[in-house]
Structure 1
Amino acid sequence: MAAPASRRSAKGQPPTPYALVSTPAASSKRAPEPASFIRSERVRLLVTRPPPDGERTAGALRARGHHVLIAPMLRMEALPWELADQAYSGVIMTSANAARVIAGDPHLAKLKGLPTFTVGRHTAEAARAAGFKELHCAEGDRRDLALLLERRIDARAGPLLYLAGEDRAGDVEVKPLVTAVVYRMAKLQRLPVAVEAGLAQGQIDGVLHFSRRSAQAYLECAQRADVLSRALAPLQFCLSCQVAEPLASAQAAGIKIAARPDEPALIELVDNHQPKEPDDERA
């Protein structure tokens, strides 16, 4: 990725706009020009995360002075499932949505006392809120979770129960394992009218993406609204490289990846790209 353009300008002249980091085009086809952050106290952002997390993310960004629109690209739907009668040695969750679904499930009473392993702190907090008592958090990604399980679980013990989503980035690499699909994230078909208008008029400076599936849904909705090129112009803030893949394939003008796959790191990434006053304008 190219480095941001310099902000230094000649005295008395308007400063050069903030340049976004561009992703190299995957072909000779011309990529859209990246949008520039406006020079004001408020950066215009779009959060594509489903509720209730999307509202929390938007609130954190607004507290930092940003103007935020919310356009959830996915909707959680609980699925019917059966709990096989086995002596499980623990429970695995890689999404807070699994914990939210199981919180109202009749099987919860049988599971909440088991050691519970989560990929990140956000999922661990949701699991605790659902009633799970013994929590072990990998504080990272699936590879970190696999290492945690390797250290904590006796391979001779009973199987682990993985409470999973229907569409997921991958499975947990541990055996023995029983996977129960307890929810799915359904794609929404349209962007909110205000978001379509904001993209069409170039009024959105950055878009926050928390999953590959929601990023793909964002592109599909933009295509239906005939604003795809405009939707690719803002800087795309992504939770991970995997999340960014659909946007890179679509030749998004600018992509930035969080240092860690969690909400605080993504918000920090946004904060680090706020415009700053040049030296010759400070008085």
Structure 2
Amino acid sequence: MAVLVTRPHPDDEATALSLRARGFEVLKAPMLRFEPLPLHDEGEAAYGAVIVTSANALRGIAPQLAGSPLLKLPLFAVGEHTASAARDAGFENVISASGDAGALRDRVLASVKAKELKKASPLLYLAGADLARDLAGELGERGFTVVTQTTYRMTAVSGLPYEASDAFAANRIEAVLHYSRRSARAFLEAARASGVEISALSIPQCCISEGVASVVRDAGATQVMVAVSPDENALFGALDRALRPVTR
């Protein structure tokens, strides 16, 4: 019996490695495909800080950042995974929030209150093409000027890999891990297109947030587990709770 990981590549590799270390068999079915977009020249811009809600926002533009003045700015990351990607890209002053956009917004506001950041200086938001939350708008309502640069997009994959489809048909998948609303929707559409929707929804769906969980519940899933916080370790905890009665 295997756990299906729907996380995009290459992050699915790290997830699979962690799950195998915990004794799980793993199948990978990335439901979104990463496509980088170029960073516009920011040589003349006078930003006060950079904000990032996904490691993918840095992954595609990392080669462009070599020697960039942006690397000298404080960078506010949504969580430690994104913070690690920022350090790898060369940012020297990385501040990590606790895992979601609301916490990142509050961390930026706290830095202003502590006089570590000036509200008068524009913020550069490195973002994806499809945003689940209007972080720039929320900060704008609090007096910030936010310049958003789209540095990547995620394209939905139309079908499940044959290995995953066959495993669903043979009832060899014991749970599915979901990391975003978009990837969850893409998974549902792919399962439907592959003719395994009933099998796919009959097993535990482990979701990184309540928003993601609502997508699979609305599709008819009844065994839905939600991580207690929006990070992968908590998601693994949800997986353990989902399978606790089962002996692997």
TM-score with structure 2 setting the length? 0.89
In 2, distance between residues paired with 1:164 and 1:108?
21
**CA offset digits 1:156-194 (Å, max 9, x no partner):** 431000000001211212121000011001111111101
Give 1:110 deviation, angstroms: 2.2
Higher relative contact order (CA 8 A, sep 6+): 1
**CA offset digits 1:113-156 (Å, max 9, x no partner):** 10000111110011111111101111131111111111113454
Q: Which amino acid aligns with 1:97?
A: N
In 1, distance between residues paired with 2:119 and 2:38?
30
Give 1:106 deviation, angstroms: 4.9
Structure 1 moving runs of 4+ over 3 Å? 153-156, 272-278
1 or 2, which has the higher helix percentage? 2
TM-score with structure 1 setting the length? 0.79
Q: Who is 1:52 aligned against? A: 10
Q: Which amino acid aligns with 1:249?
A: D
Q: 1:72 to 1:149 in 2, by over 3 A?
A: same
Q: Who is 2:232 aligned against? A: 263
Structure whose CA Rg is larger: 1
Match of 2:161 among 176, 184, 192: 192
Give yes or no for contact 1:99–1:127 (8 Å, CA) kept in 2.
yes
Structure 2 residue 203 is matched with structure 1 residue 234 = yes
Structure 2 residue 108 is matched with structure 1 residue 149 = yes
Q: Who is 2:94 aligned against? A: 135
**CA offset digits 1:43-93 (Å, max 9, x no partner):** 521000112211111111111111110011111101134245321000000
In 2, distance between residues paired with 1:271 and 1:243?
18
Give 1:205 deviation, angstroms: 0.9
Superposition RMSD in Å:
1.8
SS in 1 for 2:95: strand
Give yes or no for contact 2:39–2:64 (8 Å, CA) kept in 1.
no
Q: 1:107 to 1:161 in 2, by over 3 A?
A: farther
Q: Who is 1:86 aligned against? A: 45
Paired residues for 1:100-249 under 5 Å = 100-106=59-65, 109-153=68-112, 154=117, 156-172=119-135, 173-174=138-139, 175-249=144-218
In 2, distance between residues paired with 1:228 and 1:277?
23
Give yes or no for contact 2:39–2:61 (8 Å, CA) kept in 1.
no
Structure 2 unmatched runs, 5+: none
Give yes or no for contact 1:120–1:140 (8 Å, CA) kept in 2.
yes
SS in 2 for 1:157: coil
Percent identity over paired residues: 45
SS in 1 for 2:184: helix
Give 1:214 deviation, angstroms: 0.6
Q: Who is 2:27 aligned against? A: 69
In 2, distance between residues paired with 1:144 and 1:79?
26
Q: Which amino acid aligns with 1:103?
A: A
Give yes or no for contact 1:155–1:176 (8 Å, CA) kept in 2.
no
Structure 1 unmatched runs, 5+: 1-42, 279-283
Give yes or no for contact 2:177–2:205 (8 Å, CA) kept in 1.
yes
Give 1:107 deviation, angstroms: 7.3
Give yes or no for contact 2:48–2:118 (8 Å, CA) kept in 1.
no
